[in-house]
């Protein structure tokens, strides 16, 4: 670790004030040496050990990975959790029905007995972070191929993880940083009994929906409330009525003091992925393949989904979470593509690459060590282009053909082969016990799938996706069902092909599948049109993945060498590692910004601004009558600003990305002042190129959160659990 400390200290000292200091997602063990001076200057009143300590309770002990893609924080001695509404959206949706539509109406448990269980929801605490670079690279030798290097690293990783996991129930993993040049061990503890406590109606928690997403000014009360439970011994335990609210090592006090421009702001959370070491070749791949594909395909699918959602309340409940998961990064792609082009990021990267090309040939050692880095990245990205484009279409189009995946969301594809293969094997074996187990497994998967599935919607979407795939991709990448079935049997008519599939397949509805599973027949399964079609698709997918993978080793090697070279080439630049879903700290201040000529955005929005956007009956901008009435009366309780308004959201200069959703935004005393939930449109290229003048974090003000709980919803008992600082 001393070597890494030394390099980073030099980089930061050289960096000085040439770039804004609030750039960076920092590793917690490094903040004492790298960040405390600047943070203290900006207004931090805490020590490094108050933030991250192995010897005593610290702020990091109140920060959780919420589910698998968000951040949350503990805010009471009884395990109360705050996170974003969009992070809890899937759980809120899962409990919603036409009779009890918690998405539309909100939900508040007025006692612990009313809290709702969530079988697939977990929260994870970080126990410690430890650098293990020397151990991981001990057997890596110069001249190794990428495969040999990976094997040596994985062998060392397994030894370290096994040792760290001995005698405990912790989850341990070694993660790479700086493109595989450094490695850290991360030790976690996961709790699986997490209950829904409260959520505002979507007209508050999702106010503005797609139109306002990634935009400022923002007026969204993006929060939800959960509670984590433990066994009676305080340890993780599966759900039980005997479980007790977790007694956390640390929880965050909550400040309802006024916020002012220039106030210090600190965020701890789990940012997902940034790519700030990306080369111009990879940016070109984003501009030519990734973003255009995502924008086009998801746009078509979402239009179909939204039309059905607006026509039927049940369909709206079924598809709300899926639609949001799709549309969030659809709009992200629109924004990032525009930002990369508007800010000319590719040209800026090319300028750095030109500097590298001059620097690397200055000495024989540099040329020998790093000379091929850029060429390797260029060769890999250009060589895999047609495969990469096809994989984008396969993944995105399959997400628009739900029956082919039986997935319960949009983040992960489950192949029909994975669902069906165990039953086929069981039926061939003739073993009744194995058949029963396979049937039970499919019923478990399918019951969750069909709950949020509407066959007519999927029928329309599937027709559009299969037509789009065939039209946009060359014939060599077409699954053989197009020729063998669509053309031969249906004379090229995809609509008739899909209608026939929904008519004949045992997977087309839950009732048909259950009837089949009660008396499964091997021949019926092996000749099922959904099964045959997906088999054809995944055969192509495997071939395309194989074609693309031949470029993986070169790209991995090139990127590792490129990042290492940058750390030597430009010591005046700060070099924090890219985000990789590990806990990071970012710091900044509350600030407004100037997005374009003659326009200034102030740093906060108000409840009156919410009312000004009100559109009765509009799915994005409708509002509950109670909120309008409270605003008209200026009934803000103790949560209104002393300046006479009810705050809703505010801006900071913190550096965050996806995964930071729900992260606590804290003041200089470590008190919670808001929940991070978005970035601003003008800096959508920020995951690739940080823009210090434009980059802003959008935060829901904690005073708005508490006002909705207490004054609007009458759930004052939840506020009473918290330590409120006035």
pLDDT in tens, 232-288: 999 999 999 999 999 999 999 999 999 999 999 999 999 999 999 999 999 999 999
In this structure, what token pair is assigned to residue 552? Answer: 């993986």
For the chain, the distance separating the N- and C-terminal CA atoms, rounded to the nearest angstrom, is 41
638 — pLDDT class (breaks 50, 70, 90): very high
Asked if the structure places residue 539 within a domain, the reply is yes
Q: What is the pLDDT of residue 5?
A: 45
Q: Which of 106, 249, 131 is nearest to 185 (CA)?
A: 131
CB atoms within 10 A of CB 484: 12
**Nearest-angstrom CA–CA distance, 112 and 242:** 12
Asked if the structure places residue 321 within a domain, the reply is yes
**Nearest-angstrom CA–CA distance, 107 and 100:** 9
pLDDT of residue 407 exceeding 70, the answer is: no
DSSP 115: P
CB atoms within 10 A of CB 490: 15
pLDDT in tens, 333-349: 999 999 999 999 999 99
Give Cα 76 to chain centroid, integer Å. 25
Q: Please report the DSSP string for 515-580 in residue order.
A: HHHHS--HHHHHT-HHHHHHHHHHHHHHHHHHHHHTTHHHHHHHHHHHHHHHHHH-TTS--PPPP-
Rg of the chain over Cα atoms, rounded to whole angstroms, equals 26
**Nearest-angstrom CA–CA distance, 419 and 578:** 35
CB 590 within 8 A of CB 666: no
Asked if the structure places residue 216 within a domain, the reply is no
pLDDT of residue 8 exceeding 90, the answer is: no
Task: Among 406-420, 541-555, 622-636, name the one with the lowest average pLDDT.
Answer: 406-420
The mean pLDDT of 634-655, rounded to a whole number, is 97
pLDDT in tens, 19-66: 343 799 999 999 998 899 999 999 999 999 999 999 999 999 999 999
pLDDT in tens, 365-377: 999 999 999 999 9
Q: What is the pLDDT of residue 414?
A: 59
Residues belonging to the active site:
86, 222, 661
pLDDT in tens, 129-139: 999 999 999 99
78-100 as b/e: b if 16+ CB within 10 A:
bbbbbbbbbbbbbbbbbbbeeee
Q: Give 524's contacts (C-beta < 8 A, 6+ positions apart).
A: 506, 516
Asked if the structure places residue 395 within a domain, the reply is yes
pLDDT in tens, 559-585: 999 999 999 997 777 689 999 999 999
**Nearest-angstrom CA–CA distance, 610 and 614:** 7
Asked if the structure places residue 510 within a domain, the reply is yes
pLDDT of residue 628 exceeding 50, the answer is: yes
Domain count along the chain: 1
**Nearest-angstrom CA–CA distance, 396 and 404:** 12
Q: Please report the DSSP string for 600-617 in residue order.
A: EE-SEEEHHHHHHT--TT
Q: What is the pLDDT of residue 379?
A: 98
Dihedral angle computed from the Cα positions of residues 294, 295, 296 and 302, in that order, rounded to the nearest 10 degrees? 100
Asked if the structure places residue 111 within a domain, the reply is no
Asked if the structure places residue 531 within a domain, the reply is yes
Q: What is the pLDDT of residue 413?
A: 53
Strands 599-601 and 604-606: unpaired
Asked if the structure places residue 576 within a domain, the reply is no
Q: What is the pLDDT of residue 444?
A: 87
**Nearest-angstrom CA–CA distance, 538 and 404:** 10
CB atoms within 10 A of CB 457: 20
Question: What does the chain come to in residues?
Answer: 726
Domain containing 420 equals 280-343+385-549
The mean pLDDT of 224-229, rounded to a whole number, is 98
pLDDT of residue 504 exceeding 50, the answer is: yes
The mean pLDDT of 633-648, rounded to a whole number, is 97
Dihedral angle computed from the Cα positions of residues 339, 341, 347 and 348, in that order, rounded to the nearest 10 degrees? -10
pLDDT of residue 518 exceeding 90, the answer is: yes
Q: What mean pLDDT is reported for the chain?
A: 94
pLDDT in tens, 184-214: 999 999 999 999 999 999 999 999 999 999 9
CB 651 within 8 A of CB 593: yes
**Nearest-angstrom CA–CA distance, 651 and 591:** 6
pLDDT in tens, 435-491: 999 899 889 888 889 999 999 999 999 999 999 999 999 999 999 999 999 999 999
């Amino acid at each position: 670790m001393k070597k890494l400390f030394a390099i980073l200290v030099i980089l930061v000292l050289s960096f000085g004030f040439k770039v804004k200091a609030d750039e960076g997602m920092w590793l917690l063990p490094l903040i004492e040496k790298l960040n405390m001076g600047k943070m203290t200057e900006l207004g931090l009143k805490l020590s490094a050990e108050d933030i991250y300590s192995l010897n005593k309770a610290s702020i990091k002990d109140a920060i959780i990975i919420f589910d698998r893609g968000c951040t949350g924080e503990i805010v009471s001695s009884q395990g109360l959790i705050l996170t974003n509404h969009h992070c809890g959206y899937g759980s809120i949706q899962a409990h919603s029905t036409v009779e009890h539509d918690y998405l539309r109406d909100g939900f508040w448990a007025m006692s612990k007995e009313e809290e709702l269980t969530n079988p697939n929801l977990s929260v994870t605490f970080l126990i410690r972070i430890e650098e293990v670079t020397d151990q991981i690279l001990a057997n890596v030798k110069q001249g190794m191929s990428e495969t040999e290097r990976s094997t040596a690293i994985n062998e060392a990783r397994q030894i370290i993880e096994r040792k760290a996991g001995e005698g405990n129930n912790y989850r341990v993993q070694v993660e790479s940083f700086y493109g595989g040049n450094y490695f850290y061990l991360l030790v976690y503890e996961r709790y699986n009994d997490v209950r829904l406590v409260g959520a505002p109606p979507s007209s508050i928690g999702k106010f503005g929906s797609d139109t306002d997403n990634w935009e400022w000014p923002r007026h969204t009360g993006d929060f939800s409330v959960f509670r984590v439970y433990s066994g009676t011994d305080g340890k993780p335990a599966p759900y039980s009525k005997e479980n007790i609210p977790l007694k956390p090592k640390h929880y965050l006090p909550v400040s309802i003091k006024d916020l002012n421009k220039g106030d210090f702001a600190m965020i701890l959370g789990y940012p997902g992925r940034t790519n700030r070491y990306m080369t111009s070749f990879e940016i070109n791949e984003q501009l030519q393949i990734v973003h255009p594909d995502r924008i086009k395909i998801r746009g078509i699918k979402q239009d179909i989904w939204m039309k059905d959602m607006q026509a039927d309340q049940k369909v709206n409940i079924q598809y709300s979470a899926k639609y949001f998961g799709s549309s969030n990064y659809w709009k992200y792609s629109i924004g990032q593509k525009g930002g990369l082009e508007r800010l000319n990021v590719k040209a800026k990267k090319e300028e750095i690459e030109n500097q590298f090309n001059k620097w690397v040939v200055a000495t024989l050692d540099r040329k020998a060590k790093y000379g091929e880095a850029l060429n390797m990245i260029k060769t890999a990205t250009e060589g895999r282009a047609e495969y990469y484009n096809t994989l984008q279409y396969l993944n995105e189009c399959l997400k628009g053909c739900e029956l082919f995946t039986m997935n319960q969301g949009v983040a992960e594809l489950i192949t029909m082969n994975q669902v069906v293969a165990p039953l086929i094997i069981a039926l061939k074996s003739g073993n009744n016990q194995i058949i029963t187990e396979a049937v039970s497994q499919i019923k478990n998967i399918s019951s969750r799938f069909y709950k949020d599935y509407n066959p007519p919607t999927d029928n329309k979407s599937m027709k559009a996706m299969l037509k789009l795939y065939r039209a946009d991709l060359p014939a060599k990448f077409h699954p053989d069902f197009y020729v063998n079935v669509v053309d031969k049997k249906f004379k090229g008519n995809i609509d008739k092909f899909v209608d026939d599939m929904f008519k004949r397949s045992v997977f087309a509805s839950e009732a048909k599948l259950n009837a089949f599973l009660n008396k499964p027949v091997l021949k019926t399964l092996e000749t099922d049109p959904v099964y045959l079609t997906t088999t054809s698709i995944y055969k192509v997918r495997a071939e395309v993945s194989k074609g693309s993978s031949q470029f993986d080793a070169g790209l991995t090697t090139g990127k590792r060498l490129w990042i290492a070279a940058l750390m030597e080439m430009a010591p005046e630049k700060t070099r924090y590692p890219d985000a990789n879903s590990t806990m990071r700290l970012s710091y900044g201040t509350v600030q407004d910004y100037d997005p374009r000529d003659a326009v200034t955005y102030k740093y906060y929005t108000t409840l009156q601004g919410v009312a000004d956007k009100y559109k009765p009956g509009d799915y994005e901008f409708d509002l509950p009558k109670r909120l309008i009435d409270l605003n008209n009366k200026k009934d803000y309780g103790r949560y209104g600003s002393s300046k006479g308004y009810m705050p809703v959201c505010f801006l900071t200069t913190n550096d965050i990305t996806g995964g930071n959703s729900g992260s606590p935004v804290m003041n200089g005393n470590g008190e919670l002042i808001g929940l991070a939930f978005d970035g601003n449109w003008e800096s959508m290229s920020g995951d690739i190129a940080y823009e210090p003048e434009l980059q802003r974090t959008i935060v829901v003000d904690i005073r708005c959160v508490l006002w909705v709980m207490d004054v609007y919803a009458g759930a004052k008992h939840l506020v009473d659990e918290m330590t409120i600082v006035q």
